[in-house]
Chain A
């Protein structure tokens, strides 16, 4: 693992992106500050310890199937009119980029001498990844999941249970991801002496955004090196879907210091940003504080969080990681909404042109890449295919009216 200098896009020591008070920070109850400080110190020490980083790299390589390949999607490219490269995070163990983050955090938990991990999950992917890492490293695991999500992602609940995790359905609020985070934080306040919170995305209070990035930035570092090695040049643009934003920041981190590479994040536009039903937090939100960080938040004039909507549970979040907020504000990255319909069309197109069924989250990035390809004919667009679509077959079955004999 290479050392990365602190640059203009990194957080300062108090977790601020873009200068003190701008984005990020640590808006948390005092009861959790000691734990966050402890985590910060332990994480920095671990990242400076070749034994830890070596073990992390070994786990990624031997257990998670990393580095994932960079794949030249030629048939999709023909349709797009631009060269589309796919970073195949969907081929990682557990089917998404999230295994990188949980292996890093679970390894850190062991190093800190704690024996229990808790996690929140929306679609269930982070929950499954957390349960996997906990099983592999012999840690107790409790996953908080909104009751609504447990119903629409029952298969992932079963996976977590098979992996030995306890899944606790959360009834409060809208009974979705944001409420699962609230409940996990409440657990942590009471159990912090022996429990680590495996935060699922590059959001939340300092140091989580920076910490999660340190474990997922291999996506971008690998993609950059692979692109240069395989195709002899950097891509003209990179694209990823953005919910909380961990897969996106992992990809973007590899290219932030390459000003010639355009960076695009695609948010869940749901039924359309002109409707109330979307999760396009940067596009349509206001700056506020949610889950410990100042960032863009979907909120009403009283500061109450507005429920987000997306066909993809993994993007269905009314906040976004603070580094994305800063990248948007500074203009280094562009964030655009992609509707449910566009994402589902892209899911089908990728399946039929390349034989790859993407997660609906990742299909947002594919759809976005197809759109920017129109402005960039013949250019190279590198897309993070952050997850595979097995978990989404129930949604696809309903959406496309599949499952009957014959061809849909």
Chain B
């Protein structure tokens, strides 16, 4: 199998694998608390140890977002956040050298034009898309547009997925596979799910791609636990919550964000050694 010359996230995974650890993937929605504030926050996360960045595209009708991310997305939309702001955020993160993926509900991509969206994302230096509310069997247009530009296609697998569907999904992925660790929407949880380990094992049985685990991770201890069996630990709501709690005190928000990232990065680094 001849892999594309460069996949946005492939270089990051090559590095974390060489270092014998899992990757830390950090998420924030674009435009939160505002576009420039969001860019500052993502740069802080990169500087403090995120290996890959996920930038959420704010959408009016998300299905998979829990309350913390919903509130942030609503604020971004209320502030007038547009798709162009997402691409501007991608450009800013890509300029740091850290791969930046966009996580988006499907309709904005279709409304923008699938091919046009893929081209604009590629031009912005984006690594690819994470698409939580569409499955590969209904995404032929996106798959074609991504393949044409070597963009990452990150689809999700879930504990309820059959082995057959997991195989179908991983065959359509490029970059990595996103395993949803719990049956539920995004959100901070006290304990991570015991559904994650078996799901990762079932996923790895079908692919050599890295497998990331998301939904519910909020601290270094949980990150370490997941890093014991997954290639990437994906954190979203916990970052958003830190920013939300800091409110208008932007400096305090960035400081707290930096501290959380360091905690998670230490967890990710320690996990593989266990």
Write the residues of chain A forming the contact surface with B, with a CB cutoff of 8 angstroms.
14, 21, 25-35, 172-173, 178-179, 182, 185-186, 189-190, 192-193, 286, 288-291, 297, 299-305
A303 and B134 contacting across the interface, CB-CB below 8 Å: no
Interface residues on B, range: 35 or more
B165 and A190 contacting across the interface, CB-CB below 8 Å: no
What is the minimal beta-carbon distance from B145 to any residue of chain A, in angstroms? 14
Q: List 8 A-B contacts (CB under 8 A).
A: A25-B138, A29-B133, A30-B180, A190-B185, A288-B107, A300-B111, A302-B112, A303-B109
Q: 8 tightest A-B contacts by CB? A: A303-B111, A190-B184, A31-B158, A303-B108, A34-B160, A303-B107, A304-B60, A305-B60
Q: Which of B107, B160, B185 contacts A289 (CB 8 A)?
A: B107
CA distance A35 to B110 in the complex (A): 25
CA distance A286 to B185 in the complex (A): 28
B61 and A173 contacting across the interface, CB-CB below 8 Å: yes
What is the minimal beta-carbon distance from B76 to any residue of chain A, in angstroms? 11
Chain A residue, CB-CB nearest to B179:
A30
A26: chain B residues at CB < 8 Å are 135, 138
CA distance A31 to B110 in the complex (A): 22
B61 and A31 contacting across the interface, CB-CB below 8 Å: no
A303 and B158 contacting across the interface, CB-CB below 8 Å: no
Chain A contact residues: helix, strand, loop or mixed = mixed
Chain B residue, CB-CB nearest to A306:
B60
A301: chain B residues at CB < 8 Å are 111
Chain B residue, CB-CB nearest to A178:
B61
Other than the known A27-B138, A289-B134, what 6 A-B pairs have Cβ atoms closer than 8 Å?
A30-B165, A31-B156, A172-B70, A192-B183, A302-B83, A303-B107
B133: chain A residues at CB < 8 Å are 27-29
Write the residues of chain B forming the contact surface with A, with a CB cutoff of 8 angstroms.
59-64, 66-67, 70, 74, 77, 82-83, 106-112, 132-135, 137-138, 140, 155-162, 165, 169, 180, 182-185
> Which among B61, B67, B159, B183 has the greatest number of chain A C-beta atoms within 10 A?
B61
Q: Which of B61, B132, B138 contacts A305 (CB 8 A)?
A: B61
A288 and B110 contacting across the interface, CB-CB below 8 Å: yes
B183 and A190 contacting across the interface, CB-CB below 8 Å: yes
What is the minimal beta-carbon distance from A149 to any residue of chain B, in angstroms? 16
CA distance A14 to B110 in the complex (A): 20
> Which among B60, B133, B162 has the greatest number of chain A C-beta atoms within 10 A?
B60
B180 and A31 contacting across the interface, CB-CB below 8 Å: yes
Assuming the contacts A35-B160, A303-B108, asked whether A29 and B64 have C-beta atoms less than 8 A apart, the reply is yes
What is the minimal beta-carbon distance from A354 to any residue of chain B, in angstroms? 40
Q: Which of B74, B82, B106, B180 contacts A173 (CB 8 A)?
A: B74
A192: chain B residues at CB < 8 Å are 160, 183
A297: chain B residues at CB < 8 Å are 107
A172: chain B residues at CB < 8 Å are 67, 70, 74
A31: chain B residues at CB < 8 Å are 64, 156, 158-160, 180, 183
Chain B residue, CB-CB nearest to A34:
B160
A34 and B161 contacting across the interface, CB-CB below 8 Å: yes
Assuming the contacts A30-B135, A31-B183, A305-B60, asked whether A290 and B160 have C-beta atoms less than 8 A apart, the reply is no
B108 and A304 contacting across the interface, CB-CB below 8 Å: yes
What is the minimal beta-carbon distance from A299 to any residue of chain B, in angstroms? 6
> Which among A35, A289, A291, A297 has the greatest number of chain B C-beta atoms within 10 A?
A289
Assuming the contacts A29-B132, A30-B161, A189-B64, asked whether A303 and B155 have C-beta atoms less than 8 A apart, the reply is no
B162: chain A residues at CB < 8 Å are 34
B156: chain A residues at CB < 8 Å are 29-31
A34: chain B residues at CB < 8 Å are 158, 160-162, 165
A291: chain B residues at CB < 8 Å are 61
A29: chain B residues at CB < 8 Å are 63-64, 132-133, 156, 158
> Which among A27, A173, A185, A291 has the greatest number of chain B C-beta atoms within 10 A?
A27
Assuming the contacts A182-B63, A189-B185, A303-B111, asked whether A27 and B161 have C-beta atoms less than 8 A apart, the reply is no
B184 and A289 contacting across the interface, CB-CB below 8 Å: no
A30 and B185 contacting across the interface, CB-CB below 8 Å: no
> Which among A26, A172, A179, A302 has the greatest number of chain B C-beta atoms within 10 A?
A302
B185: chain A residues at CB < 8 Å are 186, 189-190
Chain B residue, CB-CB nearest to A301:
B111
CA distance A192 to B161 in the complex (A): 13
What is the minimal beta-carbon distance from B79 to any residue of chain A, in angstroms? 13
B135 and A289 contacting across the interface, CB-CB below 8 Å: no
> Which among B138, B140, B185 has the greatest number of chain A C-beta atoms within 10 A?
B138
Assuming the contacts A33-B135, A189-B64, A290-B107, asked whether A303 and B112 have C-beta atoms less than 8 A apart, the reply is yes
CA distance A304 to B185 in the complex (A): 21
B70: chain A residues at CB < 8 Å are 172
A304 and B158 contacting across the interface, CB-CB below 8 Å: no
